[in-house]
Amino acid sequence: MSDLHGKHYDTLIIGAGMSGLAAGIRLAHYGKNVLILERHTLPGGLNSYYMRGGRCHDTGLHALTNATPAGAKGTPLAKILRQLRLRHEALELAPQRHSAIHFAGKRIAFTNNNFAGFEARLADAYPRQADALRRLDTALRAYPDTALDAPPGSARAFLAEHLGDPELIDLLLLPLFYYGSARPNDMDLPQLAIMWKSLFHEGFARPREGVRQILRLLLEKYHAAGGTRKMGTGVRRLHTDAQRVTAAELDNGEILTATTVLSSAGLAETHRLCGAPADATATPGALSFCETITLLDQRPREDFHWQETILFYCDSDRLRYESPDALVDPRSGVICIPNNYAYAPPHSLDKGWLRVTALASHAHWKALSPDAYAAAKHEWHAKLNATARAHLPPVPDARFDAAIAARDMFTPLTIERYTGHINGAIYGAPLKRRDGRTHWENLFLCGTDQGFLGITGALLSGISMANLHILKTD
């Protein structure tokens, strides 16, 4: 019999991703007896890391969004640091140099904490929209985005009310969709306001060591506060009566009980754990991505003159953000060059990195045989790299190919395997539960399907749900 058999906890947390860890820290700080259960052996969920060929690869991290400097007050990052009792310096954040949106023949650059510069470049490119852009920014900054009862709505409709130019609307939506929309071709209005500020006003940074550094700090805090976790042990089933979760059954058959359960597994996934029938308000998402990772023996900025940290591109005249009817839709995507953060000397990355993200179809990848899957990964790795290079200063094929030190790629099936998200849906269900409540009075959601997305969003989600439902504080 395991030492955990039959044990009772104040709170069980399903998932050691960003939201589960943040919730765990809050609860442990307040003396709660809390256990995090994670099916995988590594923490981090969607934003984790793995070793391959003796090197550590981040699975997710392009950017920590909402990058504000140490000492900034009232920002999402400041709130996270205060609530989790972390020091800004401990993250060793390197700010982006600059990023850009490449669409409709325009290349609009933006960087951290300089919205005025971005606005001026947009106004140059779309002079008739200059006043409308100013009014849009005022409206979005005034929007109560993180209020759990923020009025829902369509981001596209809101933008169309303010801007008269469909091309400009698509251009603005391109980075916002890729960094945080679970809805095909649209985005929740509160999410638009959150993302607008987090990308265009605040910006991007990367911890010196990547996602491992964030995870290490979170785990240190959690354990120092007395939190416990069980890795490599999933929750197989949640036993319920009409009102409550009565017990959690683990993959190894152990049964645990808890006063409350917080689940970061997703809404449909959590319903499934409860054995609940399919529910129209808990439809899983379908938007998923492929991502290529290429390690280079050359320095992207110095040797190839690739300047941007992140480049959002779209090659069509209209942006289509939807699950493709093909393995991959390379017509739009994100190019990330982690070397192009401004690391404090003497630090730099030991290799050149190129990451390319594009929309992909879970169903199409799922239909492949193992051999065809491996071949498709090989083929799409090359195609996505070629697509990305067409948006960057040219490097001859032979020179680029000779510089490749290692490569990898993940698909919607990888996301599904490592996070449990149905369809490999990167941002979960299109319909969010902002208050985190479920049909069962002691079971709450945190993370992706509560609705705050990305690393910063997931951390805030864990904090907010622990505060609201368990600690009953703000």
Binding site for ligand FAD (CB under 6 A): 14-20, 37-40, 45-47, 60-63, 65, 234-235, 264-265, 269, 273, 289, 291, 415, 419-421, 426, 447-448, 453-456, 458
Minimum Å distance from CB 54 to ligand FAD?
A: 22
Closer by beta carbon to ligand FAD, 351 or else 355: 355
Closer by beta carbon to ligand FAD, 163 or else 447: 447
Closer by beta carbon to ligand FAD, 83 or else 129: 83
Closer by beta carbon to ligand FAD, 12 or else 314: 12
Minimum Å distance from CB 31 to ligand FAD?
A: 23
Structure tokens at 206: 């990367």
Residue pointed to by tokens 């300047």: 307
Which residues neighbour 436 within 8 Å (Cβ) at sequence distance 6 or greater? 444, 445, 446, 450, 461, 464, 465, 468, 469
Q: Can you say whether the dihedral through the CA atoms of 143, 149, 155, 158 is positive or negative?
A: negative
Minimum Å distance from CB 334 to ligand FAD?
A: 9
Closer by beta carbon to ligand FAD, 189 or else 268: 268
Distances (CA, A) of 53 to 150, 283, 336, 405: 46, 39, 21, 10
Rounded to whole angstroms, the Cα distance separating 297 from 72 reads 37
Residue pointed to by tokens 């190839």: 304
CB atoms under 10 Å from CB of 305, counted, come to 11
- 206: Cα separation from own chain's centroid: 14
Closer by beta carbon to ligand FAD, 171 or else 293: 293
Closer by beta carbon to ligand FAD, 13 or else 136: 13
Q: Please tell me whether residue 206 adopts helix, strand or coil conformation.
A: strand
Minimum Å distance from CB 273 to ligand FAD?
A: 6
Distances (CA, A) of 455 to 198, 231, 280, 327, 365: 12, 20, 28, 26, 26
Closer by beta carbon to ligand FAD, 153 or else 234: 234
Minimum Å distance from CB 165 to ligand FAD?
A: 28
Phi/psi for 445 (5° steps) reads: -95, 150
Residue pointed to by tokens 């790795």: 381
Closer by beta carbon to ligand FAD, 126 or else 284: 284
Minimum Å distance from CB 448 to ligand FAD?
A: 4
Minimum Å distance from CB 360 to ligand FAD?
A: 11
Alpha helix (H) ranges present in 305-404?
A: 362-366, 370-389, 397-403
Residue pointed to by tokens 């920002």: 75
Minimum Å distance from CB 210 to ligand FAD?
A: 10
Structure tokens at 422: 């149905």
Q: What is the CA radius of gyration of the chain?
A: 22
Closer by beta carbon to ligand FAD, 170 or else 408: 408
Minimum Å distance from CB 426 to ligand FAD?
A: 5
CB atoms under 10 Å from CB of 315, counted, come to 14
CB atoms under 10 Å from CB of 119, counted, come to 17
Furthest-apart CA atoms within the chain: distance in Å: 72
Minimum Å distance from CB 317 to ligand FAD?
A: 27
